[in-house]
Amino acid sequence: MKTTTLIEVHSDLGLQMIKARVVERSLPFVEKSDGLIIHLPLGQIHACGENGGLRLTLHASDHMKLHLLQEAVDHRLDEAAVALDRRWSLTKLGLVPPNLTFAIVESCERVRPSYYRVRLSGASLERFSRDGLHFRLLFPSENHIGQWPVISESGRVEWPGGISEWHRPVYTTRSVNLEKGTLDFDVFAHEGGRVTEW
């Protein structure tokens, strides 16, 4: 799978910036006559000059990895304030992002005085047994309860009210039971904590 965007930045300057970042982070890359190919765990980034701008093409083995790779690239470009209005070719307009998983809270048990163990169940939780230990819970502001982030016309994620309106704490997966389709994680209980109140 792939998606691409053309960024309005001088190609030589853009390639220099990307190469400097890649070398700084010791990422594997191949320099070609028309640009760079960067190899990452999620997939590849091909950066090359085109029509006076910089063409970025992302390749990944599946839709979720491609989305995560695009989010990582978007984050870096946003930090550098580069082409904030960019558009990606692959769009799933109005759909929730592929890395957003809905689950049901099956149980919540106090396992220590300050810790609760939460058990979730759902059809797509098995991916957490292979794609990483960490995940975020999403809590919208009161103005956006019942709304979820969706893919916009630009191919980027649109957060109702803006991403800063959302509480997105990171948690570590404690265990995943593939047979039962459950995931357990622990929550530290403290007064005034949004997740504790939830």
Give the integer Cα–Cα distance in Å for 101 and 173.
14
Tens digits of residue pLDDT in 1-40: 999 999 998 888 889 989 999 999 999 999 998 899 999 9
pLDDT score, position 131:
67
8-state DSSP, 168: -
CA atoms within 13 A on the CB side of 130: 6
Mean pLDDT of 71-91: 89
Q: Which residue has the tokens 């994680």?
A: 185
Question: What confidence tier does 123 reach under pLDDT thresholds 50, 70, 90?
Answer: confident
Give the integer Cα–Cα distance in Å for 137 and 145.
14
Buried/exposed code over 36-75 (b: 16+ C-beta within 10 A; e: otherwise) = bbbebebbbbbbbeeeebbbbbbbbeeebbbbbbbeebbe
Provide the mean pLDDT of the chain: 92
Would you say residue 137 has pLDDT above 80?
Answer: yes
Would you say residue 80 has pLDDT above 90?
Answer: no
The sign of the torsion formed by the CA atoms of 144, 145, 150, 153 equals: negative
Tens digits of residue pLDDT in 146-183: 999 999 999 999 999 999 999 999 999 999 999 999 99
Is 57:4 a contact under the CB 8 Å cutoff?
yes
Would you say residue 132 has pLDDT above 90?
Answer: no
Would you say residue 92 has pLDDT above 90?
Answer: no
